Amino acid sequence: MSEVTTLELQERKTGKDLYNYQKGAINKIFKSFEDAPEDYHLLYQLPTGGGKTVIFSEIVRQYLKHHQKRVLVMTHRVELCKQTSNMLTEFGVVNKVVDSKANLDDQNDYDCFVAMVETLNNRLNDNKLDITDIGLVIIDEAHYNSFTKLFKFFEKSFILGVTATPLSSNIKLPMKDNYNELIVGETIESLINNEFLARAETFSYNVGLTSLEIGTNGDYTVKSSEDLYTNNDMLSKLLMAYETHSKGKKTLIFNNGINTSIHVFETFKAAGYPIAHLDNTVSKKDRAKILQWFKETPHAILTSVSILTTGFDEPTIDTIILNRATKSLGLYYQMVGRGSRILNNKSKFSIIDLGNNFHRFGPWGSNLDWQKIFRSPHQYLERILSDEELESNFRYEMPPELRSEFANSKEVYFDIKKTYTQAVANGLSSKVVLEKSIDQHARICIENSEDEYDAYALAKLLGDDISYRIDRYSKCICRSTHNFIDWLNDDYRKKLRIYIRENFDRIFEEIHGRPPEE
């Protein structure tokens, strides 16, 4: 590309109106290629919603205008192929989609091809696509590793990868091994300040994730996620979070597993809310109907599994619910990014996080050093806290409705770890910790009751708090088998009830300065 100067780039007339930051990115990309060898691999980062497809479509238009070589654009999903082809057409670039049904007899009539990675791999291995004069290869969502197996076919082509998160989906295949350079685009904060993206407000709920297992891909397994997120406590927490922060707003829910999404659908349907379920087993026709319904229905809720993380743009979304945990920074940003599109009457959106993702990665839009992450991905990943470390910093907070039942109590929190540390320092048995916890639970129940039966009823409402305290206690004493924790939970509840029965009169009089009424 050395015959194209930066000055010439600035003088070119674009095929579509571009924002200044998009024009600046195009200039940087072409300039980087100017003096580079013909097999140079360049990576460009831009947040979801910043217009990556617009930018590389203009790059294709300009490249074809000034070169006698052809262009190939690669995507990893069929939907992205079609969207990319349509955008290129808007820029005046005649292109051919190379899908499984494509007839390639007329391939010599085209200067630009758009192909899905697996289909292209098959066509190239079968020698059905002539790529001898492909000068530029553009890879959308370049952080996916499925593309790297095709690099061997393009050893004399410029390769431009584009992604919102230049962190490989496979820790064993860092992006710096496949790309020579990273150009970082506009930050999320800058795009928000300049009204290109909506600002996010995050509501994060502390969730115990230690039961989740890590699969071979480095992320939580579907099986362990479904075991957690289909239980009644988590479904109730999800519904409560929606009703507290998103009731009456258009909401997109992400799950890790079809069974979870179906449970979510049934839970919200039973509560009377307008909801639809979508996963990759739904036919194209039904998917189109569901997405049209979601677009047109003001208060619609859509519960989904992975399928809408890329290539899906619906600016009317008000709330993103992460009803799952992920170890993938890229997936976190992709899911949240679905809510960041602006509208005339929309400048902000909500994130409800039920997977500790906020604590794991920080707020969406925080100032990440992408150059450092690109150069040293292992160092970045090693700094991410484990679930055990994250949860050790959590403090149980009663939901507002439950807290109102204990309105007479100034403080309802009990610090298990601090109490355990003090007990050990004083040479006391660890059992003292649970005894003190039961006493404190009994006191807040009695403090908000007129009689013994009121106190029993309040004690039944403390299930989440009890489970949290037992979990913290089990970690303190380094015993965390499921059977042991289940036994501790049952034993705690029985002892709390007995403690209330045996001490109600005494504690009531201590608190109120009078005996309970007969």
> Which residue in the block uniquely carries the two structure tokens 């790529």?
131
Q: What's the pLDDT score for residue 34?
A: 84
Q: What's the pLDDT score for residue 5?
A: 38
pLDDT along the chain (518 residues), means of 10: 38 62 94 88 92 93 90 85 89 86 81 86 81 90 83 88 88 87 94 93 88 86 94 92 95 95 97 94 89 93 82 86 93 92 89 94 90 90 78 78 92 93 93 96 95 94 91 85 88 96 94 83
| C-alpha–C-alpha distance, residues 197 and 191, integer Å | 6
Q: What's the pLDDT score for residue 60?
A: 94
Contact between 363 and 200 (Cβ < 8 Å): yes
Contact between 212 and 224 (Cβ < 8 Å): yes
Q: Which of 183, 109, 113, 96 is nearest to 154 (CA)?
A: 113
CA–chain centroid gap for 69, Å, is 39
Full strand arrangement of the beta sheet holding 319-323: 199-204, 348-353, 319-323, 251-255, 301-305, 275-278
| C-alpha–C-alpha distance, residues 236 and 401, integer Å | 13
Spell out the residues 6+ positions from residue 449 whose beta carbon is closer than 8 angstroms to its own. Answer: 455, 457, 458, 508
Q: What's the pLDDT score for residue 486?
A: 87
Q: What's the pLDDT score for residue 309?
A: 64
Q: What's the pLDDT score for residue 4?
A: 38
Cβ-based burial of 245 (10 A; exposed 0-12, middle 13-18, buried ≥19): middle
Q: What's the pLDDT score for residue 119?
A: 83
What tokens appear for 141 in the block? 């969502």
- DSSP structure class, residue 146: G
pTM: predicted TM-score of the whole model, two decimal places: 0.78
| C-alpha–C-alpha distance, residues 277 and 254, integer Å | 10
Q: What's the pLDDT score for residue 518?
A: 64
Contact between 451 and 428 (Cβ < 8 Å): no
Contact between 209 and 318 (Cβ < 8 Å): no
Reduced to 3 states (helix: H, G, I; strand: E, B; else coil), residue 48 is coil
